[in-house]
Chains A and B, each alone.
Chain A
Amino acid sequence: MGAFTQWFNERAPGLGAVYKKHMTEYYAPKNFNVMYYFGSLAMLVLVNQIVTGIFLAMFYTPTAAGAFDSVQYIMRDVNWGWLVRYMHTTGASMFFIVIYLHMFRGLMYGSFKKPRELVWLIGMLIFLVLMAEAFMGYVLPWGNMSFWGAKVIITLFSAVPWFGHTLVTWIMGTFVPGDPTLNRFFALHVVALPLVLLLLVVLHLGALHEVGSNNPDGVEIKKHKNPKGIPLDGIAFHPYYTLKDLVGVGVFLIICAVIIFFAPSVGGFFLEHDNSIPANDLVTPATIKPVWYFSPFYAILRMIPSKGLGVLALAASIVALFLVPWLDRGGVKSIRYRGLGYKIALAIFAIVFFLLGCIGADLTPGWIVSIFGPNADITTIENLFGRILVILYFAFFVFLWVYTFFGFERTRPVPERVTTHA
């Protein structure tokens, strides 16, 4: 063993150092709570998506004529094909659940603030690539929702001035989504975007490990070090947090297994019913709605009664998130010590995001009928409700800047070191 290690290190110097830097000698704050599981869980889901995706690609046919049938073939004829595909589809939705919670954690504890702005920016890029990846993966089974979803989302680009329509044709490679669209989406989904995603994850972790992890108290543990230069409130990532994360992995996999084995479509949320019908370019499904993880953004698009402005608002709703590190000028990171205004604003923002999701998922007409009776003017009520939510969504970012820039925030004193509970 010793001889081999020496032989190896002489030929590949630095690998051991990299392992030390990022695992055994990466000191993370000792007060991580349950919100700190989602980073490692996201990595777990990424691995799941890559492994199951490779096996799906072995049986899938990326042509308009063959795609739908090949997915049925995977589900019915390929040994364990159903399990591999359900792991992939469930993984896609779980990816977004985990990522949304991971982002919310960042907003709660100010993990986007100096010196971690780049960590947040790279993370937002990961989110953006993940959305593209999920969208293209959703098109591949070539069900009727795949087809119409692809058409609607690609047509969004026609709102670009001057060359919008050329851009749409360029993306599709034909005049309505067809073979060329499916082929290029397959190539991007299985080769190009996963490579970008992996690179971004490496950069995300590299940037994080350079500045060190934030924590629920939002204090910098690097301020207090022992004589060896190790933060007093830090513990080695391995073995301490690898073992802690294993507990999270266990719970998470139990939840995933319940979904995969007992309710893989989750009532039409993880897998939509209309996608069990082959793509038909002459018949639109009765209601076109995106998969649940896009529905808040889709609702913003739908609530704006102008195509150009709707697309602009959709883009702005994501760009605003990129800007959070510069909109929030407050000096205190963690929600534990921030002003009441921030706590209320963040709670409202989360609720608004959830309700916009309900509108995007087309749940609201049912609610409106049950509240206002069967003769209610659904469109008017839904538009009124939805537009208030859109305003509130953007109001969060405006509030964040005004509240912190003009010094309205009344913060509580931040402790010098992390507050440990037992």
Chain B
Amino acid sequence: MADDSINKGRRRFLTASTAVIGGAGLIITAIPFVETWLPSARAQAAGSPITVDISKIEKGQMVRYGWRKQPIFVINRTPEQLQWLPKQDPRLRDPHSNEPQQPSYCKNGHRSIKPEWMVLIGICTHLGCVPDYKKKVGPEPFDPDWKGGFYCPCHHSRYDMAARVYDGVPAPLNMVVPPYHFVDDTHIQIGVDPKGAA
């Protein structure tokens, strides 16, 4: 038992196992600290559905609402605005809304439940700015052939009247359509799917 020689193997094992156990302990201790940064219960509770009255929105007008601190755009589109939609297809990045940027019941040519009523989260898919609603048709500094739509002042991304993104701009995706449904002809509830829809 009384052996003065150094057992290097045992020494290495003890060093390594101490390091591994200590390291694991450090990592486990770090988890609570990292997770303090995730949204707190208060932050998570701050987003419930909203119901809005759309009876006073005129043809061509856009009204903003706030939902989960995000800007919701509701637009009463005119027949002219709807008529431009299919003609923009060749200039768009995702004309048929193949990317899942909308609920399945809004995956259509006008990206909405009723063609005239456009509901979207007004946040540019590039870096999260709020695009401007530019309904005037005609040459604009950012697009000589402008047919109305949304223009992001941050990095000049452009979207058509169905919030579909144009090709050749920084934004990669169409703007998001939130889940919503018609409570009746003049009220929309944002945050809840229609009955029976996924």
* A residues with CB within 8 A of B: 148, 151-152, 155-156, 169-171, 173-176, 178, 180, 184, 281-288, 302, 304-308, 310, 365, 377-379
CB closest chain-B residue, reference A303: B170
A155-B40 in contact (CB<8A): no
Known: A151-B128, A155-B127, A379-B156. A307 touches B39 (CB 8 A): no
Residues of B within 8 A of A171 (CB): 37
- Residues A378 and B142 in contact in the complex (CB < 8 Å), given A284-B130, A286-B153: yes
A377 vs B168: C-alpha distance in the bound complex, in angstroms?
A: 14
CB distance from B70 to the nearest CB of A (A): 7
Q: Contacts A184-B37, A281-B69, A282-B66 known; A173 to B130 CB distance under 8 Å?
A: no
Q: List 6 A-B contacts (CB under 8 A).
A: A175-B43, A284-B154, A288-B154, A306-B170, A308-B172, A379-B156
- Of all chain A residues, which has the CB nearest B64? A282
Q: Is B96 an interface residue (CB 8 A)?
A: no
CA of A284 to CA of B124, assembled, Å: 11
- Are A307 and B172 in contact, with the CB atoms below 8 A? yes
Residues of A within 8 A of B125 (CB): 307
Q: Determine the chain B residues whose CB is within 8 A of the CB of A156 once the complex forms.
A: 127
Whether A282 touches B141, Cβ cut-off 8 Å, given contacts A151-B128, A173-B39, A173-B40, is no
Contact residues in A for B128 (Cβ distance below 8 Å): 151-152, 155
Output the nearest chain A residue to B43 by Cβ-Cβ distance: A174
Binary A-proximity of B140-154 (CB < 8 A = 1, otherwise 0): 011110000000011
Query: CA–CA, A282 to B142, complex, Å?
Result: 23
Instruction: Write the nearest CB–CB distance from A172 to chain B, whole angstroms.
Output: 8
Residues of B within 8 A of A282 (CB): 64, 66, 71, 130
Closest B residue, CB atoms, query A376: B141
Beyond the given pairs A180-B40, A282-B71, A307-B127, 4 more chain A to chain B contacts, judged by CB atoms under 8 angstroms and listed by A's residue number, are A174-B40, A180-B37, A310-B170, A377-B144
| A176 vs B46: C-alpha distance when bound (angstroms) | 11
Is B155 an interface residue when CB atoms closer than 8 A count as contact?
A: yes
> In the docked arrangement, what's the CA distance between A304 and B169, Å?
9
Q: Is B171 interfacial (CB 8 A cutoff)? A: yes
B26-83 interface (Cβ within 8 A of A): 34, 37-40, 43, 46-47, 64, 66, 68-71
Q: Does B129 contact A (CB under 8 A)?
A: yes
Q: Quote the shortest CB–CB distance from B56 to chain A (angstroms).
A: 19
Q: Which residues of B contact A281 (CB under 8 A)?
A: 66, 69-71
**How near does chain B come to A297, taking the closest CB pair, in angstroms?**
14
Q: Which B residues lie at the A interface, using CB under 8 A?
A: 34, 37-40, 43, 46-47, 64, 66, 68-71, 125-131, 141-144, 153-156, 168-172
A173 touching B126 in the complex, CB below 8 Å, given contacts A286-B153, A378-B141, A379-B156: no
Shortest CB distance A47–B (Å): 31
B39 contacts A287, C-beta separation under 8 Å:
no
A169 with B39: CB separation less than 8 A? yes
With CB as the reference atom, state the residue of chain B lying closest to A374. B141
Residues of chain B within 8 A (CB-CB) of A302 are 155, 170
Q: Is the CB of A176 within 8 A of B69?
A: yes
A293 and B131 CA atoms in complex are apart in Å by 25
- Chain B residues contacting A305 (CB-CB under 8 Å) are 168-170
Question: Could you say which of A151, A156, A178, A284 has the most chain B C-beta atoms within 10 Å of its C-beta?
Answer: A284
- Are A307 and B43 also in contact (CB < 8 A) when A170-B38, A379-B142 are? no
Q: Indicate which residue in B46, B126, B130, B155 contacts A283 across the interface (CB closer than 8 Å).
A: B130
Residues of A within 8 A of B47 (CB): 175
Q: Is the CB of B71 within 8 A of A173?
A: no
The answer to whether A178 touches B170 (Cβ under 8 A) is no
Contacts of A176 in B (CB 8 A): 68-70
Q: Quick one: given A155-B128, A282-B71, A378-B142, are A173 and B170 in contact (CB under 8 Å)?
A: no
Least Cβ–Cβ distance between B108 and chain A, in angstroms? 26
Q: Closest approach, in angstroms, between the C-beta of A92 and any C-beta of chain B?
A: 23
Q: Is the CB of B37 within 8 A of A175?
A: no
In the bound assembly, the distance between CA atoms of A187 and B20 in angstroms comes to 31
Closest chain-B Cβ to A103's Cβ sits at a distance in Å of: 27
Q: Which of A155, A178, A288, A307 contacts B153 (CB 8 A)?
A: A288
- Complex Cα distance, B170 from A288, in Å, reads 15
Give the chain B neighbours of A286 by CB distance below 8 A: 153
Q: Which residues of A contact B172 (CB under 8 A)?
A: 306-308
* Cα distance, A176 to B122, chains bound together (Å): 13
Contacts of B171 in A (CB 8 A): 307
Contact residues in A for B141 (Cβ distance below 8 Å): 365, 377-379
Task: Give the 10 A-B CB pairs with smallest separation, nearest first.
Answer: A174-B43, A284-B130, A288-B154, A152-B127, A155-B128, A176-B69, A284-B129, A282-B71, A155-B127, A307-B172
B55 CB, nearest partner CB in chain A, Å = 22
Q: How far is the CA of A176 from the CA of B40 in the complex (A)?
A: 13
Assembled-state Cα–Cα distance A170/B36 (Å): 9
B170 touches A174 (CB 8 A): no
Question: Which chain A positions have C-beta within 8 A of B129?
Answer: 148, 151-152, 284, 288
